[in-house]
Amino acid sequence: MQCLILDDTAFVLSCCHRLAENLSCDYHVELCGFHIDGGYPSNVCLNAAVLGKRLICRIPSLDQKVKDYCETYGYELIHVNQGYAKCSCAVIGDNALITADKGIYHSLKESKIDILLIEEGRVRLDGADYGFIGGASGYDKKTKTLYFCGDIDRHPDHENIRRFCDRHNTKIVSLTDDILTDVGGILFC
């Protein structure tokens, strides 16, 4: 929710000074979200799942700088009603994702994106009823590995998730023995 990386550009919330400074070593940084009031939907202006040259997001909530970049560089914006699109999706490569969000699933199931629907509410998020699979994971394109904050084998859909990842030549690494925990996602730069 604090940054979105597209190509060599990192879109970073204007209030995240240290993050912007750290990313500026490797990316052109664009500050965004100058009008965030902390609540939904303004707090999801960078919350988009990136699959190759496609962004899955709630288009009206997306920051205008990101929309302009996408138009200039040929990114397709795919609208879903879920503002927390990135949080809700574990992205695998350029054409696959895992989600427990039925709205995202129904919006994308007729697309060319391979999508696995899993059971909702099986991810811990401190202070909330439940977290999201995207917030409990991160995909490393270089090694084709999907990392989970927690033990994927403790999720009731672990077998389906493993088969889905195998189909996409993706390794799985569980980082702890605990239940899956939403930490806001894992970012690979």
pLDDT value at residue 39: 80
* β-pairing verdict for 54-57 and 49-51: antiparallel
Produce one character per residue of 127-146: b if its CB has 16 or more CB atoms within 10 Å, e if not. eeeebbbbbbbbbeeeeebb
**Residue 35: what pLDDT?**
76
Q: Where are the domains of the chain?
A: 1-79, 87-189
Look at residue 91 in the predicted model and tell me its pLDDT: 97
Contact of 24 with 33, CB cutoff 8 Å: no
Q: What CA–CA distance (Å, rounded) separates 149 from 139?
A: 12
Per-residue model confidence as pLDDT tens for the chain (189 residues): 899 999 999 999 999 999 999 999 999 999 998 877 778 888 899 999 999 999 999 999 999 999 999 999 999 999 999 999 999 999 999 999 999 999 999 999 889 999 999 999 999 999 999 999 999 999 999 999 999 999 999 999 999 999 999 999 999 999 999 999 999 999 887
Question: Would you say 73 and 100 are in contact if contact means Cβ atoms under 8 Å apart?
Answer: no
